[in-house]
């Protein structure tokens, strides 16, 4: 089973919008075992959309399009796919009612142009909308199929999971269930990680065909992911196989696994604090608010996060956080900052960063030199050196996650 993606919209060709939809669809296809060998982007031009669809259908079994289903004049995906199918559009009364109700529920007048979102190519079926107004389309073309999805990422993502993947799997005659789980790791290089899990990979290799497969995904600043994929006759046995494989890998990786699937480092830290009934305050120098801003992005963080101090100038470290006079790019300063912010903000735990983000050295220390301090309850604060590299932005981002990871592992060790 081979599928292609055709992203539609002149804004993509002008480079005004980065095409994240195609990446999302591609990842979902790969996770379902469906090959995707070409992706095309084309503007809001009828002839060229038709050409792109015909080329894609000539070499693949299925095409997923995104964009061009809105109410404006340049939204012409419906027309293009109808031409490829060799049929006309007809207005669907049931879909029209949905669009009308959407506007009525918001007390807004429906512009006449919106009615075209109820048009369907003859022989196509609709994927009902749950978030917006434009339904998706399932358009058979001989033995092949074109799925048309709206370009709004939220609407598209929901329809891929609910309608496109199940339909593709049914068409491929695939009876079994393919499920993935991603273990997120921090603190090991890709090569070290590969060495650590090598015995397990060799075991799975020897087990052959039906065994789980494991892929390494480098995710930029968010650590390295291990994706486990299993194929099983039904959901229940897939879950058993997934759980067993996760347990084998966790046995090898220990606390290097900080989260599963979409959970972030700050979610993992929040969960640990919440479970222990502890509150957190942060003091940031070179990370300059990045730790706090990631934490505040977690809904419900107010239950465990009190706030922080961005101590960018050295005097703020001394005067507001009580760091003793002297150099500030040191482990001692990081520990004192952690203790100071914990006290100042009345939190149970203090976390602090100090370091050199660059481009210039500071206190004679090179960019990338950095320390994370932790003050846990009334215990003596202390700090560790972080080894960071890259440009200013990267040093700050890696420093942020490294500091959160340091706190995470200390909370785990404290039990």
> Which positions lie near a second copy, rule CB under 8 A?
12-20, 22-30, 36-43, 45, 48, 52, 55, 217-218, 282, 284, 286-293, 295-297, 299, 301-302, 305-313, 315-316, 319-320, 344-346, 357, 359, 392-393, 396
Task: Tell me the C-alpha distance between 260 and 177, whole Å.
Answer: 20
- Kindly tell me which of 190 and 234 has the beta carbon lying closer to a second copy: 190
- Kindly tell me which of 36 and 146 has the beta carbon lying closer to a second copy: 36
Least distance in Å: CB of 38 to a second copy?
6
Task: Tell me the C-alpha distance between 356 and 387, whole Å.
Answer: 11
* In contact, 410 and 376? CB cutoff 8 Å: yes
Assigned token pair, 352: 């602090």
Least distance in Å: CB of 384 to a second copy?
22
Assigned token pair, 354: 């100090």
Assigned token pair, 252: 């090898």
Least distance in Å: CB of 415 to a second copy?
26
Least distance in Å: CB of 1 to a second copy?
15
Phi/psi-derived region of residue 13, left when phi > 0, alpha when psi is between -120 and 50, beta in every other case: alpha
Least distance in Å: CB of 344 to a second copy?
6
- Kindly tell me which of 112 and 299 has the beta carbon lying closer to a second copy: 299
Instruction: Identify the bridge partners of residue 231 per DSSP, sorted by sequence position.
Output: 178
- Kindly tell me which of 396 and 409 has the beta carbon lying closer to a second copy: 396
* 3-class SS of residue 159: helix
Q: What are phi and psi of 105, to 5 degrees?
A: -65, -25
Assigned token pair, 54: 């015909």
Buried b (16+ CB within 10 A) or exposed e, 159-175: bbeebbbebbbebbeee
- Kindly tell me which of 88 and 302 has the beta carbon lying closer to a second copy: 302
Least distance in Å: CB of 125 to a second copy?
26
- Kindly tell me which of 76 and 357 has the beta carbon lying closer to a second copy: 357
Task: Tell me the C-alpha distance between 88 and 226, whole Å.
Answer: 47
């Amino acid at each position: 089973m081979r599928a292609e993606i055709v992203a539609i919209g002149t804004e993509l060709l002008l480079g005004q919008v980065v095409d994240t939809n195609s990446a999302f669809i591609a990842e979902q296809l790969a996770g379902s075992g469906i090959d995707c060998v070409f992706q095309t982007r084309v503007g809001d031009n009828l002839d060229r959309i038709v050409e792109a669809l015909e080329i894609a259908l000539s070499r693949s079994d299925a095409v997923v399009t995104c964009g061009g289903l809105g109410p404006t004049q340049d939204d012409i995906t419906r027309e293009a796919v109808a031409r490829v199918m060799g049929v006309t559009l007809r207005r669907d009364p049931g879909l029209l009612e949905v669009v009308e109700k959407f506007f009525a529920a918001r007390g807004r007048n429906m512009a006449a142009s919106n009615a075209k979102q109820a048009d369907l190519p003859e022989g196509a079926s609709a994927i009902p909308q749950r978030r917006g107004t434009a339904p998706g389309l399932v358009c058979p073309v001989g033995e092949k199929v074109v799925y048309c999805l709206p370009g709004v990422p939220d609407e598209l993502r929901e329809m891929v999971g609910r309608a496109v993947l199940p339909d593709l799997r049914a068409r491929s005659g695939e009876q079994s269930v393919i499920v993935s789980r991603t273990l997120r790791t921090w603190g090991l290089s890709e090569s070290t990680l590969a060495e650590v899990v090598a015995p397990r990979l060799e075991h799975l290799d020897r087990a052959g065909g039906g065994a789980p497969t494991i892929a390494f995904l480098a995710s930029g600043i968010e650590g390295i992911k291990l994706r486990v994929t299993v194929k099983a006759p039904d959901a229940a046995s897939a879950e058993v196989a997934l759980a067993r494989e996760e347990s084998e890998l966790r046995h090898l990786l220990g606390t290097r696994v900080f989260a599963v699937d979409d959970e972030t480092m700050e979610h993992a830290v929040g969960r640990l604090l919440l479970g222990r009934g502890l509150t957190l305050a942060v003091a940031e120098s070179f990370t300059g608010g990045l730790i706090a801003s990631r934490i505040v992005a977690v809904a419900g963080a107010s239950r465990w996060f009190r706030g922080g101090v961005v101590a960018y100038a050295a005097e703020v470290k001394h005067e507001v956080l009580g760091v003793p006079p002297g150099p500030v790019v040191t482990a001692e300063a990081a520990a004192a900052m952690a203790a100071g912010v914990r006290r100042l903000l009345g939190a149970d735990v203090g976390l602090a960063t100090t370091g050199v983000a660059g481009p210039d050295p500071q206190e004679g220390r090179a960019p990338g030199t950095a320390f994370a301090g932790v003050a846990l309850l009334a215990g003596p604060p202390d700090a560790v050196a972080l080894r960071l590299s890259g440009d200013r932005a990267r040093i700050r981002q890696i420093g942020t996650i490294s500091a959160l990871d340091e706190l995470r592992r200390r909370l785990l060790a404290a039990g």
